Amino acid sequence: MDNLNENLQHINATIQTAAQKSGRSIEDITLITVTKTIDIPTIQNAVSLGTIHLGENKVQEFLSKYDSIPSDVHWHLIGHLQTNKVKYIIPKVKLIHSVDTEKLALEINRKSKECNSPTDILIQVNIAEEDTKYGISPEKVVPLLSAIGSLPYIHVKGLMTIAPYMENPEDNRIYFKQMYDLFIDISNKNMNNIHMEFLSMGMTNDYAIAIEEGSNMVRIGTGIFGSRIY
Ligand X SMILES: *Cc1c(COP(=O)(O)O)cnc(C)c1O
Q: Which residues bind ligand X (CB under 6 A)?
A: 34, 36, 57, 78-79, 162, 203-205, 219-223
Q: Which is nearer to ligand X, 57 or 215 (CB)?
A: 57
Residue at 107: amino acid letter: E
Q: Which is nearer to ligand X, 79 or 138 (CB)?
A: 79
Give just the sign of the alpha carbon dihedral 208, 212, 213, 217.
positive
Q: Which is nearer to ligand X, 34 or 108 (CB)?
A: 34
Q: Which is nearer to ligand X, 114 or 129 (CB)?
A: 129
Residue 194 pairs in a beta bridge with 156
Residue 75 exposed, middle or buried by CB count within 10 Å (0-12, 13-18, 19+): buried
Q: Which is nearer to ligand X, 31 or 151 (CB)?
A: 31
Residue nearest to ligand X (CB): 221
In the complex, the smallest distance separating the C-beta of residue 149 from ligand X, rounded to whole angstroms, is 24
SS (H, E, C) the chain: CHHHHHHHHHHHHHHHHHHHHCCCCHHHCEEEEECCCCCHHHHHHHHHCCCCEEEECCHHHHHHHHCCCCCCCEEEECCCCCHHHHHHHCCCCCEEEEECCHHHHHHHHHHHHHCCCCEEEEEEECCCCCCCCCCECHHHHHHHHHHHCCCCCEEEEEEECCCCCCCCHHHHHHHHHHHHHHHHHHHHHCCCCEEEEEEECCCCCCHHHHHHCCCCEEEECHHHHCCCCC
Q: Which is nearer to ligand X, 42 or 204 (CB)?
A: 204
In the complex, the smallest distance separating the C-beta of residue 156 from ligand X, rounded to whole angstroms, is 18
Q: Which is nearer to ligand X, 33 or 119 (CB)?
A: 33
Distance CA 106, CA 147 (A): 10
